[in-house]
Amino acid sequence: MAPAVVLVGVMGAGKTTVGAALADRLGLPFADTDTVIEERAGKPIPEIFVDDGEEAFRSLERQIVAESLETFAGVLALGGGAILDEGTRGLLRSHRVVFLTVELSDAIKRVGLGAGRPLLAINPRATLRHLMEQRRPLYLEVATHTVATDGRDPAELAEEIAGLIKS
C-alpha cells in the first residue's frame, strides 16, 4: 500500500488545500502529516517546537512520514520541512511526488506573517524567502512533477495533477 501521490512544497504552496481537492476529485482519502503529528503529539506544532524543540519535532516527523509512505493509500501532503531529512528523500524516490511551487508574494498572502508558524516567528518575509531558496533543490530532487500554484484555483490544480498522475 502506498499513497497515490505525495505533495511537497514550502508552507503556503497549497499542499493541504490542493491535496484535499485532489483527494475529493480522485475519490481517495487525504492526509496531511502535520495533522498526524499534532494528533500523535497531542498538541499543535508550535507547542512541540516550544516545549520539545525542533529536533524532537523533526524526529516525530521522520517517523510519521515513513509510516504514511508505507501504509496510507490516498493523497498525502508532507510538511514543508519533511524533505530536509535525507532518509525521507530516499523514501520519496519510490513514490509519485508533486512539488507545488509558489512565489513569495502568494506564499505570504496564504500564510500571513507567521501566526502559528514557528519558523516564521522572526522576520517572516525574509525567513520564508530563505526557506524557499534553501529547500527548492531538495523538492526538485524528489519531484516526479512540478506544478505552479500562484493565482490558481485549487480545483484547477487538482484537475491538472490528476491528469499528471494518471499518465
> Three-state SS string across 99-155, please?
EEECCHHHHHHHHCCCCCCHHHCCCHHHHHHHHHHHHHHHHHHHCCEEEECCCCCHH
Residue of 32 and 132 predicted with greater confidence: 32
Confidence at residue 10, expressed as pLDDT on a 0 to 100 scale: 86
Find how far residue 84's CA is from the centre of its chain. 12
Share of the chain above pLDDT 70, in %: 86
CATH T-level assignment (fold) for domain 5-166:
Rossmann fold (3.40.50)
Confidence at residue 160, expressed as pLDDT on a 0 to 100 scale: 97
Share of the chain above pLDDT 90, in %: 69
Residue 167 has pLDDT above 70, yes or no: no
Confidence at residue 124, expressed as pLDDT on a 0 to 100 scale: 65
Determine how many CB atoms are found less than 10 A away from the CB of residue 8: 27
Q: How confident is the model at residue 46 (pLDDT cuts 50, 70, 90)?
A: confident
Q: How confident is the model at residue 113 (pLDDT cuts 50, 70, 90)?
A: low
Chain mean pLDDT for the chain: 89
Confidence at residue 83, expressed as pLDDT on a 0 to 100 scale: 95
In Å, what is the CA distance from 21 to each residue of 3, 117, 164?
15, 23, 15
